[in-house]
């Protein structure tokens, strides 16, 4: 297990936002995280990233306590794309992606041709190669999202944490980003807004009112009964005749 949470919780002013989450993320898997708005997905992601310190339980990466790890070492292991990611406006796309290399640079190991290659690859993988010299401020929401992902890829982490990475993306880029993440040999945890996208993950975790209420293969977790109980909507599963994959259709009331 590369990333583990044990009895993980976070409370603010006496209110539990995330509680009693036990989760073990396997080496190389893509784990989808779904749940209604406010169910605690982003908070759980921030706890797993070590951005927020848990108020109970712990997070371990490769068996080591995350909160006891130096920031720099944690940044070599975990990259996090936040749901509302921001960047200083005055920098170029290339500069923004180069920031991903920061945890790897030292006075003895300064910027090298290898760093250039890694940044170039990340720009290619996110279809942003043509934007290198553009100023961040001129990018659309979807382009910014792809730059953030490129920065996270350039970080070459062992674990990639992505909070709703397909937000703002057109359908072509949604699919290409999801395929890229699924094909990457690294371990990923991806909070997803679209339940149909979660069918493509190796496993799915479902959050409800701060709890992880289900965890397992997509077809075991994403049942119409659970969707009704957790999301309060009626769903039916439709099978695509082209490739036999499942998709949800949702019905109002």
Ligand X SMILES: Nc1ncnc2c1ncn2[C@@H]1O[C@H](COP(=O)(O)OP(=O)(O)O)[C@@H](O)[C@H]1O
User: What is the C-alpha separation between 202 and 32, in angstroms, rounded?
Assistant: 8
Q: Name the segment binding ligand X (CB under 6 A); options: 32-40, 69-77, 92-100, 197-205.
A: 32-40
Q: CB-wise, 92 or 208, nearer to ligand X? A: 208
Planar angle of CA 1, 192, 237, nearest 5 degrees: 105
Q: Name the segment binding ligand X (CB under 6 A); options: 40-48, 53-61, 117-125, 137-145.
A: 40-48
User: What is the C-alpha separation between 95 and 82, in angstroms, rounded?
Assistant: 19
Asked if 140 and 57 count as a contact pair (C-beta separation under 8 A), the reply is: no
Binding of residue 42 to Mg ion (CB under 5 A) = yes
> Which of 114, 122, 62 is CA-nearest to residue 93?
122
Compute the radius of gyration of the chain from its Cα atoms: 19
Binding of residue 32 to ligand X (CB under 6 A) = no
User: What is the C-alpha separation between 36 and 227, in angstroms, rounded?
Assistant: 10
Name which position in 1, 12, 224, 247 contacts ligand X (CB under 6 A): 12
Q: CB-wise, 41 or 173, nearer to ligand X? A: 41
Q: CB-wise, 28 or 38, nearer to ligand X? A: 38
CB under 5 to 8 A by kind: which of Mg ion, ligand X, none does 5 bind? none
Q: Name the segment binding ligand X (CB under 6 A); options: 41-49, 72-80, 127-135, 170-178.
A: 41-49
| Number of chain positions touching ligand X (CB under 6 A) | 10
Binding of residue 43 to Mg ion (CB under 5 A) = no
Binding of residue 39 to ligand X (CB under 6 A) = yes
CB under 5 to 8 A by kind: which of Mg ion, ligand X, none does 39 bind? ligand X
Two tokens, residue 108: 């003895």
- Strand, helix or coil at 24? strand
> Which of 245, 247, 244, 226 is CA-nearest to residue 236?
247
Residue showing tokens 């490129």: 150
CB under 5 to 8 A by kind: which of Mg ion, ligand X, none does 137 bind? none
Enumerate binding residues for ligand X (CB under 6 A): 12, 17, 35, 37-43
């Amino acid at each position: 297990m590369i990333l583990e949470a044990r009895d993980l919780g976070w409370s603010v002013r006496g209110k539990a936002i995330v509680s009693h989450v036990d989760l073990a993320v396997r080496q190389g898997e893509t784990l989808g995280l779904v749940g209604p708005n406010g169910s605690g997905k982003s908070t759980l992601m921030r706890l797993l990233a070590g951005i927020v310190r848990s108020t109970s339980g712990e997070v371990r990466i490769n068996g080591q306590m995350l909160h006891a790890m130096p920031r720099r070492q944690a940044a070599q292991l975990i990259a996090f794309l936040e749901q509302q990611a921001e960047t200083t406006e005055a920098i170029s796309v290339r500069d923004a992606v180069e920031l991903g290399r920061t945890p790897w640079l030292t006075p003895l190991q300064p910027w090298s041709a290898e760093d250039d290659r890694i940044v170039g690859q990340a720009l290619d993988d996110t279809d942003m190669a043509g934007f290198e010299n553009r100023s961040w401020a001129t990018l659309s929401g979807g382009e910014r999202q792809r730059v953030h992902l490129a920065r996270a890829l350039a970080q070459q982490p062992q674990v990639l944490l992505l909070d709703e990475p397909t937000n703002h993306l057109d359908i072509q880029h949604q699919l290409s980003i999801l395929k890229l993440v699924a094909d990457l040999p690294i371990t990923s945890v991806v909070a997803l807004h679209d339940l149909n996208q979660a069918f493509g993950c190796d496993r799915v975790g479902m959050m409800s009112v701060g709890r992880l209420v289900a965890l397992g293969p997509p077809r075991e977790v994403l049942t119409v009964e659970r969707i009704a109980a957790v999301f309060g909507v009626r769903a039916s599963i439709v099978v695509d005749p082209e490739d036999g994959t499942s998709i949800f259709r949702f019905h109002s009331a």
